[in-house]
Amino acid sequence: MVGDYYKTLDINRNATDADIKKAYRRLALKFHPSSNRETGSTETFCQLGEAYDVLSDPRKKATYDKFGEDGLTGGIPPEFGSSGAWSSKYVYHGKPEKTFRDFFGGDNPFADFLTNDTPLQFGGLQPGAVKTQGPQIERDLHLSLDDLFHGCSKHIKISHRVMNEDGHTSGIKDKILAINVKPGWKEGTRIIFPKEGDQGPNCIPGDIVFIVRQTSHSLFVRQHNDLIYKAQITLQMALIGFSVDVQTLDGRLISIPVNDIVHPSYHKVVTGEGMPLSQDPERRGNLIITFDIQFPKKLSADRKYLIKHALTFK
């Protein structure tokens, strides 16, 4: 464990994604064991790789910022697991060269790049070099159930490296990516932006992929295209009938009569009141109502007598 990742990259805790990339680029080139006999350091280079691996990943960074080293390496407590932060135990893979190659692209990073400040003294753009595509970058896109029911537009700012006109130096630029969320999209839906990753002289930019992560809802649980709603009812209601009022995601209040006897495994299906189907938003899944029957905690002798005779069938 490095300790203070921000201190390792010589940045403050308000650093943006672009600041993190700039800091890693500068320091990784400076301390790479092959770059310079005076500054090259295997230990420092490994620490830089671990710090960048954590701070460049929103989920790992969120866990580190909120729970510190213990939360990152030990895993966050289950009660915090729904926050969207990294929940498993983090261990750096210990391969700073891999982190370096993934950042700059190519198997021989020093063969391709010149920095903004100082050209590398060995290598540069190799004539006739075969361009390879950089690694795919994946980011979570957290959406509410309402977003996925109605559809919406999300605008996300990314910071990526682009080549300057001279073809040798590069800089960090911000770009806004627009995502049109379609009604009915599910957890795990992948939205791909081709070649929006970092550029390099001998590197084709990798794709940026956003993966839909659905946040929890106060009333409904989603199950594929169906919505599950749990209603609390009394034992009396379970036996003699009642109606359930449900506020739908599109703002309607619907009343569902229940005339059956509600037993523990009973559920009521309301057709066409679930999530829209992503391929055909005019069609919808079902609303499934389950029931939590509240039994009385105590019964007097008189009430027991009455219930006994009321439930005696002849």
Pairing of strands 287-294, 226-234: parallel
Q: Would you say residue 310 has pLDDT above 80?
A: no
The confidence score (pLDDT) of residue 36 equals 53
Q: Which domain holds residue 144?
A: 134-214
DSSP code per residue over 74-105: H---GGGGGGSS--SPP---S-HHHHHHHHH-
Does residue 123 form part of some domain?
no
Instruction: Give me 8's structure tokens.
Output: 């390792």
* Domain identity same for 142 and 210: yes
Does residue 295 form part of some domain?
yes
- Out of 184, 214, 244, pick the residue that ends a domain: 214
The confidence score (pLDDT) of residue 167 equals 67
The confidence score (pLDDT) of residue 150 equals 93
The CATH number linked to 225 is: 2.60.260.20
Q: What is the pLDDT of residues 46-55, one digit of tens each?
A: 888 898 988 9
Q: Mention every residue, 6+ apart, whose C-beta is less than 8 A from residue 249.
A: 145, 146, 149, 150, 220, 227
Q: Would you say residue 87 has pLDDT above 60?
A: no
pLDDT band per the 50, 70, 90 thresholds, residue 119: very low
Cα 277 off chain centre by: 22
For tokens 């010589």, what's the residue?
10
CA 220, 221, 227, 232 torsion: positive or negative? negative
pLDDT band per the 50, 70, 90 thresholds, residue 126: very low
Query: How many structural domains is the chain composed of?
Result: 3
105 or 58, higher pLDDT: 58
Segment among 18-22, 52-56, 229-233, 294-298 with least mean pLDDT: 294-298
* Domain identity same for 90 and 13: yes
Q: Which of 69-83, 103-117, 161-175, 258-272 has the highest mean pLDDT?
A: 258-272
Cβ(274)–Cβ(227) below 8 Å: yes
166 or 121, higher pLDDT: 166
Please state the rounded mean pLDDT for residues 75-92.
60
pLDDT band per the 50, 70, 90 thresholds, residue 105: low
Does residue 129 form part of some domain?
no
The confidence score (pLDDT) of residue 185 equals 94
Query: What does pTM read for this prediction?
Result: 0.55
Q: Would you say residue 3 has pLDDT above 80?
A: no
Please state the rounded mean pLDDT for residues 244-271.
92
Does residue 203 form part of some domain?
yes
Does residue 120 form part of some domain?
no
The confidence score (pLDDT) of residue 77 equals 58
The CATH number linked to 97 is: 1.10.287.110
The confidence score (pLDDT) of residue 131 equals 67
Instruction: Give me 176's structure tokens.
Output: 């806004």
